[in-house]
Amino acid sequence: MTIIVHHLENSRSQRVLWLLEELGLPYEVRRYERDRVTMLAPPELRRVHPLGKSPVIEDDGMAIAETGAIIEYLVEKGGGRLGAPADRPGALRYRQFLHYAEGSLMPPLLVKLVLARIPLLGKAAQRKFQPMIDVHLNYIEAELASRPWFAGGEMTAADVMMSFPLEAAASRAQAREGRPHLADWLDRIHARPAYQAALAAGGPYAYA
């Protein structure tokens, strides 16, 4: 059965398309555009899932929301490919970064985005908030200095999960500046054929 991906432009759902391409699983994209004033998802997404958010996938009669849950579901469906490494340290790193992406890294980036939309005072608040983000980015730089991928020597779904917040950070929070290992990681994921195929399937994406 073909997996249906409810894909919102410039959103977390780009990661789902990338993973599907890496795993070679068949899928169909249903695209949604943001409201040009509010930049929120359109009301049509509420017909798919009560939260009206993206990504949502439909497979085997189920609608599955939340990027992390979708990623884990697809890894399982793909026979464990791009899942946790066999060694325990690698498996622990895999689990950590799978959750860190949305649990710790994305919230301050979202706050920075909100502050950027507040006239005058928002800019000053952003400057004070940037050091909090830098703590995360410097931690990530140190991690990538010790190995090529987040879980170890090979790319895993943890790298897929980390892609959106780090692409957002490169766009909004100068993530590449003074962080050569982080910048190299971004360049390497963007060069992957599966990533390029996902871009073609998903349409315009501002962060690649």
Token pair listed for 79: 């026979």
Band of pLDDT at residue 115, cut at 50, 70 and 90: confident
What is the rounded average pLDDT for all residues in the chain? Answer: 94
d(C-alpha 72, C-alpha 77), whole Å:
9
Per-residue pLDDT, 137? 98
Per-residue pLDDT, 116? 78
Please provide the CATH number assigned to the domain covering 88-192. Answer: 1.20.1050.10
Q: Over range 130-152, report the average pLDDT.
A: 97
For the chain, percent of residues with pLDDT exceeding 70: 99
Higher pLDDT, 85 or 128: 85
Per-residue pLDDT, 57? 98
Higher pLDDT, 154 or 111: 154
Name the nearest CA neighbour of 111 among 96, 95, 128: 128
Per-residue pLDDT, 185? 98
Radius of gyration of the chain (CA): 17
Band of pLDDT at residue 133, cut at 50, 70 and 90: very high
Per-residue pLDDT, 22? 98
Tell me which DSSP letter residue 141 carries. H
Band of pLDDT at residue 38, cut at 50, 70 and 90: confident
d(C-alpha 208, C-alpha 204), whole Å:
9
Q: Over range 8-24, report the average pLDDT.
A: 96
CATH class of 3-82+194-202: alpha beta
How do the domains of the chain map onto residue ranges? 3-82+194-202, 88-192
**In this structure, are residues 208 and 190 in contact, taking their beta carbons and an 8 Å threshold?**
yes
Q: How many CB atoms lie within 10 A of CB 135?
A: 10
